[in-house]
Amino acid sequence: MGLMDNIEGQVLNRMTGGGSNQLASAVLQMIQNQPGGLQGLIQCFHQNGLGGVISSWISTGQNQSISPDQVQQVLGSNTLQQVAEKAGISPDQAKSSLAELLPTLVDKITPNGQVPEHSSLLEMGESLLGSLGKSA
C-alpha cells in the first residue's frame, strides 16, 4: 500500500469513523480528475444552480446539505458510475454517500474559507489530514 492509499484511508476513517477506503480513494480521485480539480468541481456546482451550496462548504459558516439527486445533477451519471465502481458500491449508494461526504470533504480541504491553490491529490490529502487532526 502506497503513501497515497494511506492518506486516502486515513481521510475517510477520520471523517466517517472507519468507512470504506475505496470510497475515500474514489472521492479524492474524482476531485483530482475533475477538469480544473477542485475549481472545476466548484464551477460544476455553479453551472447546475448549486453554487450557494458549495460556497457554504467553502466558507467558514454552516454547511448546507445536498440531496443524492442533486449530487447526480452536478456530477452526472458517468462520474457517479465511476465513483461507484471504484468504491465497489452501487451508483445509488454512491450518490447517497457523496451527499453526506462531499460537504465535509470540501469544507476540510478549504481551510479558512479559502480554496487551496494546489491541485495535487497528495497535497489535498495532506491538507485534509492536517485540518482533521486539528479538529479531532
Each residue's pLDDT tens digit, 60-113:
889 999 999 999 999 999 999 999 998 889 999 999 999 988 898 888 888 788
pTM over 0.85: no
Cα-Cα-Cα-Cα dihedral of 45, 49, 51, 54, to 10°? Answer: -60
More confident residue, 37 or 11: 37
How far apart, in whole angstroms, are the C-alpha atoms of residue 102 and residue 80? 13
> Domain 3-135 is classified in which CATH homologous superfamily?
YidB-like (1.10.10.690)
